[in-house]
Amino acid sequence: MNRNIYLIGIGYKPLTKEEERVLEKASKIFTFKRTEEIFKGYPQHAFFKEKIKVVKGVNELLEEIEGEREDVVVLAGGDPLLFGVGEKLISYFSQEEIKIFPDLTTPQVLCSRLKIPYYKVRIYSLHGRKFQRESFLREVLQSEYLFVYTDSENNPSFIADILEREGLNELILYVGERLGYAEERIFKGHPSELVNSKFAEPNSLLIENSNWGKHIILGIKEREIFHERGMITKDEARAIILHKLEPPLRGVIWDIGAGSGSVSLELARLSPYLEIYAIEKKENYCRLIENNCKKFLINNIKVIHGEAPEAFLNLPSPDRVFVGGTSGKLKEILNFLESLKDLKISVFSFITYENLKEALEFFKDKPYELDLLQLQVNKFSSLKDYHFFKPENPLFILKVIK
């Protein structure tokens, strides 16, 4: 098929001569309701309005284009590849038949109005999406400037209310109201100042955080983590386990016998691109992990309630595995991990010598590299006027490299 799909971004710049020729050549022009309203402000609208067909959603758009044999145009707002319909089109149709003409983007325009260098801005979309507290707040804390695509529900007032409730009232919010229209306005204020405001649509939000990046990404203290007394991987052991795991920036990690999720929490904070599965058989421990995720704004941990090895069956294959608890099923876990082709590094923590011995016996004739250490931590303590080092239970940490 020799049909072309021309994807033209509109909203800020006048159409070019080439874009006009494409519109003239096309048999149909597809657009969404809001984009059509924008196009009505262009002088070319009067010439091409008979070709325009407004679609209600992406699925309808795909069906309409699929039924066409001649060249078509899709009008979209701004840059169609920035949280726009472009990504869907290039994944559905062949890239050879798609040609893209981007306009300026709303983040670019708002930044230019505010004299803020665009390269410093991270972009986050809430448009047509369910609000996810942990994901959103994590982005806010990590970004000097965060541009937010809003909608009627996830509007600037709603977001300001969330930020104020979270104690982030020192942030500066900029609301771009109807950017590119004759009645364009920009508002500035702290969350508490914008919480009860109403803004005309379309609008967008830019959040400035002068304290960005100052949150801790490694070193959660034991006392900060919800856990049952004593049932947690201690701070010093956690640090060594993380080092032994050699976590990548992106990948899949299983935390087997996750307990309170302390190791998973540290991993998740190191990189938002890690996909972590905290596997735990006790329901009350699963709730502890979920509560810890909310407390530390973690959204890349999936809590799996179930027993090993059955709980592993439908999970994505991991790059790394940490085994902190086995509940008497060490042999079954070892056999299952042996079958995983993508697994590169496994780290085990054992309190008893019997479990360590069983693991060493399992790996004895296998062509893997083993790294074993015993960790003995003695913590400075005091009793009345006397000071001493109080020993904690020793721990065996075994690293297996395939």
Indicate left, alpha or beta for 78 from its phi (over 0: left) and psi (-120 to 50: alpha): left
Tell me the per-residue pLDDT of 257-296, one tens digit each, with 9 for 90 and over: 999 999 999 999 999 999 999 999 999 999 999 999 999 9
Q: What's the mean per-residue pLDDT of the chain?
A: 95
For 58, the 3-state DSSP assignment is helix
- pLDDT of residue 310 exceeding 80, the answer is yes
Q: Are 323 and 292 in contact (CB under 8 A)?
A: no
Tell me the per-residue pLDDT of 70-115, one tens digit each, with 9 for 90 and over: 999 999 999 999 999 999 999 999 999 999 999 999 999 999 999 9
The set of residues, in sequence order, having a beta carbon less than 8 Å from that of 337 and lying 6+ positions away, is: 321, 343, 346
At 353, the pLDDT band (50, 70, 90 cuts) reads very high
Mean pLDDT on 131-149: 95
Phi, psi of 101 (to 5 degrees): -120, 95
Strands 121-125 and 98-101 turn out to be unpaired
What residues does CATH 3.40.1010.10 cover in the chain? 5-104
Chain-centroid distance, C-alpha 272: 6
List, in sequence order, every beta strand (DSSP E) within 64-189.
72-77, 98-101, 121-125, 145-149, 172-177, 185-189
What is the CATH T-level fold of the domain 5-104, as seen in this structure?
Cobalt-precorrin-4 Transmethylase; domain 1 (3.40.1010)
Q: Does CATH place domain 222-401 in 3.30.420.40?
A: no
- pLDDT of residue 216 exceeding 90, the answer is no
Sign of CA dihedral 280, 343, 301, 226: positive
What amino acid occupies position 312?
A: F
For 302, the 3-state DSSP assignment is strand
The upper half-sphere exposure of residue 32, i.e. CA atoms within 13 Å in the direction of its Cβ, equals 18
What residues does CATH 3.30.950.10 cover in the chain? 107-208
The upper half-sphere exposure of residue 395, i.e. CA atoms within 13 Å in the direction of its Cβ, equals 21
What residues does CATH 3.40.50.150 cover in the chain? 222-401
> Crossing angle of helices 133-142/156-165, nearest 10°?
80
DSSP state of 324: -
Mean pLDDT on 30-42: 95
Which two tokens mark 28? 């149909």
- What predicted TM-score, i.e. pTM, was given to this entire model? 0.85
Strands 386-391 and 378-383 turn out to be antiparallel
Indicate left, alpha or beta for 53 from its phi (over 0: left) and psi (-120 to 50: alpha): beta
Residues 62 and 71: their CA atoms lie apart, in Å, by 14
Predicted confidence at residue 12, as pLDDT, reads 95
Which two tokens mark 315? 């999970």
At 231, the pLDDT band (50, 70, 90 cuts) reads confident
CA distances from 244 to 69, 81, 322 (A): 58, 39, 10
Predicted confidence at residue 1, as pLDDT, reads 61
Residues 3 and 70: their CA atoms lie apart, in Å, by 5
At 332, the pLDDT band (50, 70, 90 cuts) reads very high
> Crossing angle of helices 353-363/330-338, nearest 10°?
30
Query: The CATH number of 107-208 is which of 3.30.930.10, 3.30.950.10, 3.40.50.150, 3.90.950.20?
Result: 3.30.950.10
Q: Are 355 and 325 in contact (CB under 8 A)?
A: no
